[in-house]
Every structure is written in C-alpha cells, then in structure tokens.
C-alpha cells in the first residue's frame, strides 16, 4: 500500500477474524499488534502478529472490551489504526470516537454512522427518508409499556417488540395479542437494559414465515458505494444464524436488483465508509422486502460473498481506511456460482446447543476444490468458556446450489473434531432434510422442526 496514513495496526479481537486480519495486514506490508487475554495465551492470532500484548484477565469485560487498555496498547506500541473485526467493540460508537480522539484510524465507519445505524428506530427513519422500504412499525422507541400499547394496535398483530440497541435476539419478543403485550414488553425491556444498558423498545409487524436476506456493501465515506449479491441467512435458531448462502434460492433476478438498489441507496445516503451489511426480511409470497437494520462492521458470513465475487473484503476494509478507491472492489457481473457457509460452534447440538468448552484433541478440517475453512483452531488448542462458541467456518463453493450442497455433504462427512462437542453433526443432519434441499426453509424452520419432532436434539 502506498501513501498509507498508518503502517501499524492494533487488531482488537481474537480467534479466526483476528488471525485473518493479521494475515491480510502482512500481505499489505502493514505491521500488526495483537492483543490476547490470559485465557488466550499462545493463541494463533497472537503468535502470527508482529507483536502481541496480554490485554487482561479472561472475562471479556476486563480484556477485549476494555477500551482504556486497548487505547493504551495502541499508543504504547506506535499503532496508527485499530481493526475491530466483528463482535466485541466493532459496533461501539464510543470506542470509534475515542480512537479518533487519540489519533487512531478506526477501520470502519465514522462514530456518528455507528450511532445512527445502531439505534434501530433512528436507522428505520433514515431508511424511510432514503426511500428504502421498512417493516410496518412504530415511529419511535418506548420505555413505557402503556404508551407502547397505545401504538401497538396501529402496527397490527402479531408484532415484535425489539430492543432499540444491540441485536442477536436479545430484548426481542413475539406478541400475538393485546393480552400478552404488557408482560412481553416488560420481559424484553429488562433483557435489553441488562444486555445493552438501554431498555427502549420499538414495535414492528411480525411476519411468521420470512426469509432473512442481507446485502454486503462497501462505501468510501464520501457517498460512493458498491453492493454484492444477497446472502440468505434464514437457517437460524433463536435469531442466531447457523448457515448462510449466496445467492438466495428465494430471490429472482429482478428482486435481487431491487434489494441491492435499496442497500445502495442507504449506503450512499449515509456516506457509509468501509464494509457493512444492510439486512432485510423477505416475504416470499408477496415478493416484498423490508429493511430491518444495518450492521456497521464485517459480518461472520462475509466469506460466501468473497467466494462468489473474488474480492477480499477484509483487505478492502484496510484499503478503504487508507483512502483507497472503491473501483478495485467492484464485483464482477455475474458473480460466480453458489456458496454456503456452515458455522462450526463448540456446542452440543443434541442437548440444546449447550456450550462445550474444553481442549481439542483432534482437528482435521476438510480440504479440496471449492472448500474453505476459516479458523484459528488446531489440535491441542483450548476453547475457553468466556467467549463466543464459534470455532470455525466451513465455506463451500459450487457451480450451482445443488453442486454446493453435494460438496458440503462430502466436506462435512470428513470433518473431524474430537475433545469438544460441535455443530458438525447438526449440519450433516440439515443437509439430509428435504426442506433445506428443496428450499422450503424460513427463519422459524428449526423451531417448527422441534415442534414436529423432526429435530433430533433438545429444544432448549
């Protein structure tokens, strides 16, 4: 990279995304400083970096979420930029703001953008102003159940109460009738307050059978943006994504262009900088889609886009942060084939997806054409109980969806992990389900499979 405003990057994360960032920086001739908690001593990302610093004890609140510690390490090691990855502080506007105040380039959007898009009610209003269709819902967020109840009838039943801040299904409840509203509102606002220190909720019409569709965008921070083909993230459990694929088998060419145009209108309208994802719900029966939120960071599932478009999105983040041109990342038309990502979590899927920390005794991921495994795991590695349970991402690419499913079956059949329970078995089961193979899934499909006794695991 020439004329780069920074030459050393603090990688403020852990696991596979931190290792990925270190490797990309090396290819770009950037130096890296990794941080690790006491629980991650000897971790792959720390070993791969030019320098590594212990950031604190195992709990994330005392290590990876400690803004003063991160800023101190960045300053004392001569870093000019901070890479947040996903999770932890990646969508923390206060952290982005403090980076800027300390002369550090935050590799991502401006703090104001994170603020605006992180407030779901404000994001919704911005989308409406820019002509992006939004889910019918309340005009603002509520902390008072009585006032929210007055607005509920206009939204219609069933509806969702959703936390204004945060995500991941926390602070969210489906409310089927007015009789359930007050209790559900109270539960959701308490959960939102505990998770995000913000108990405000907004109301949104609930669609029982929808697809979750998202569009990867890159913006230059000046009103320029590019959009990639959509990803379908409809295989979920309790609002947590398990499988993602691109393109969506529920989206035709005309609908694809309309969804991408809507994502571009938002990214350009807010002068977005870096990698972000505009998320929609799709009602396949009505051929209608609605904006739900924007994630102002790289997504876990970004590799399915990379596999089809031939673009390194993490590299794009660094080049854009250094003032690079978007033209180099304009996706080819058409994008190539079909890609599916399977999240491999250290969880016992037969026992309610219970976390399964421990030591990996054997680790033998699949290899071959069209197969990619993003991970920082190897045999002998300890998986601590303090962080997210995802330990790898298996991504397969085929000529079309049927070919990708075939390759995925082969890859999963040879994927070996011993010492901890994983979701490898869940994905093998999923690929044997006619509903998945024949594209009859939706965001509540797993819950319905449990109710029909089709799912072999426990429900909780």
Residues marked active site are found at: 297
Question: Judging by beta carbons within 10 Å of its beta carbon (0-12, 13-18, 19+), is residue 194 exposed, middle or buried?
Answer: exposed
Number of other CB atoms surrounding residue 254 within 10 Å: 9
Number of other CB atoms surrounding residue 160 within 10 Å: 21
Grouping H, G, I as helix, E, B as strand and the rest as coil, residue 47 is: helix
Give CA separation, 12 vs 70, 95, 371, 377, 394, in Å: 7, 11, 28, 19, 24
| Letter string b/e over residues 324-344, b meaning 16 or more CB atoms within 10 A of that residue's CB | bebeebebeeebebbbbbbbb
Side-chain half-sphere of 175: how many Cα atoms within 13 Å? 29
**Residues whose CB falls within 8 Å of the CB of residue 132, separated by 6 or more in sequence, listed in order:** 262, 265, 266, 291
Question: Whole-angstrom Cα distance, residue 459 to residue 453?
Answer: 10
Calculate the dihedral angle through the C-alpha atoms of 47, 19, 424, 421, rounding to the nearest 10 degrees: 40
Q: How far apart are the first and last CA of the chain?
A: 49
What value, to the nearest 5°, has the Cα angle with vertex 425 and ends 420 and 429? 165
Question: Whole-angstrom Cα distance, residue 114 to residue 23?
Answer: 26
User: 73: which 2 tokens?
Assistant: 């390490």
Q: Tell which residue, 411, 400, 441, 167, has the closest CA to residue 293.
A: 167
Q: Tell which residue, 115, 5, 9, 26, has the closest CA to residue 70.
A: 9
Which H/E stretch holds residue 319? helix 313-321
């Amino acid at each position: 990279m020439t004329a780069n405003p920074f030459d050393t990057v603090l990688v403020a994360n852990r696991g596979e995304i931190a290792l990925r960032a270190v490797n990309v920086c090396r290819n770009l001739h950037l130096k890296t400083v990794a941080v690790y908690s006491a629980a991650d001593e000897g971790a792959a990302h720390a070993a791969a970096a030019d320098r590594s610093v212990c950031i604190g004890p195992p709990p994330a609140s005392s290590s990876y979420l400690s803004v003063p510690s991160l800023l101190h390490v960045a300053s004392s090691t001569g870093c000019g930029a901070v890479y947040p990855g996903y999770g932890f502080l990646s969508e923390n506007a206060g952290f982005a703001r403090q980076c800027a105040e300390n002369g550090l380039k935050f590799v991502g959007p401006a703090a104001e953008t994170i603020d605006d898009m992180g407030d779901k009610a404000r994001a919704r209003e911005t989308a409406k102003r820019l002509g992006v269709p939004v889910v019918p819902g309340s005009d603002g967020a509520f902390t008072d159940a009585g006032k929210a109840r007055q607005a509920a009838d206009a939204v219609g039943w069933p509806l969702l109460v959703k936390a204004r801040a945060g995500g991941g299904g926390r602070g969210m409840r489906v409310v089927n009738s007015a009789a359930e509203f007050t209790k559900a509102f109270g539960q959701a606002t308490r959960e939102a307050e505990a998770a995000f220190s913000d108990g405000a909720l907004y109301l949104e019409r609930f669609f029982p059978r929808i697809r979750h569709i998202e569009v990867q965008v890159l913006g230059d921070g000046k009103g320029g943006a590019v959009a990639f083909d959509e990803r379908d993230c409809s295989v979920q459990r309790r609002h947590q994504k398990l499988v993602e694929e691109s393109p969506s088998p529920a989206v035709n060419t005309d609908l694809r262009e309309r969804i991408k145009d809507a994502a571009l209108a938002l990214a350009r309208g807010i002068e977005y900088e870096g990698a972000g994802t505009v998320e929609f719900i799709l009602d396949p029966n009505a051929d209608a889609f609605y904006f739900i939120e924007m994630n102002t960071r790289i997504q876990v599932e970004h590799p399915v886009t990379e596999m089809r478009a031939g673009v390194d999105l993490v590299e794009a983040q660094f080049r854009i942060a250094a003032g690079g041109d978007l033209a180099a990342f304009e996706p080819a038309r058409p994008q190539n084939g079909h890609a599916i990502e399977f999240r491999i979590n250290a969880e016992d899927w037969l026992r309610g997806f219970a976390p399964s920390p421990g030591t990996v005794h054997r680790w033998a991921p699949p290899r071959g054409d069209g197969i990619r495994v993003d991970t920082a795991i190897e045999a002998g590695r300890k998986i601590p109980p303090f962080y997210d349970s995802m330990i790898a991402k298996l991504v397969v690419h085929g000529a079309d969806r049927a070919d990708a499913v075939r390759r995925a079956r082969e890859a999963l059949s040879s994927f070996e992990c011993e010492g901890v329970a994983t979701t490898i078995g869940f994905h093998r089961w999923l690929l044997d389900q006619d509903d998945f193979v024949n594209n009859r899934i939706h965001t509540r499909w797993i819950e319905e499979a449990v109710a029909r006794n089709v799912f072999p695991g426990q429900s909780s």
